[in-house]
Amino acid sequence: MSTKMNTKLFGEKLAHYALKEPKHFLQLDGHHVPGGLDDGMGVDEDGDTVTAQGTVELMRGATVRILISEGTNPKVAVRQLKKLTKWFKRNPQMIDYAKPKSAPPAGDDVPF
């Protein structure tokens, strides 16, 4: 598959989503940064860190959706999914970030 953007498909998707009401989500992200991060966020012994934030999307919302970037090592993905699950189980109140009124602005991550 080509990495060049398919402008026709992109335009069709934009037109489709332009008619939808935005939906609020809790976004949990796993980051593999074995060298650490410049902003002082801690990483664990595997070089992983996790973040949470509120976000707004136009796609139809599943109850839970997992997106894994192309080229991600499957072992890293599984390890981070386990960490995200454990973190969310310990902190179920993070779901409040999905609420429109309490959601922090995009990029306002909650440290691991």
The per-residue pLDDT for range 103-112, each reduced to its tens digit, is 445 444 444 4
Distance of CA 52 to the CA centre of its chain: 8
Q: Global pTM? A: 0.68
The per-residue pLDDT for range 41-63, each reduced to its tens digit, is 678 889 898 888 888 887 776 88
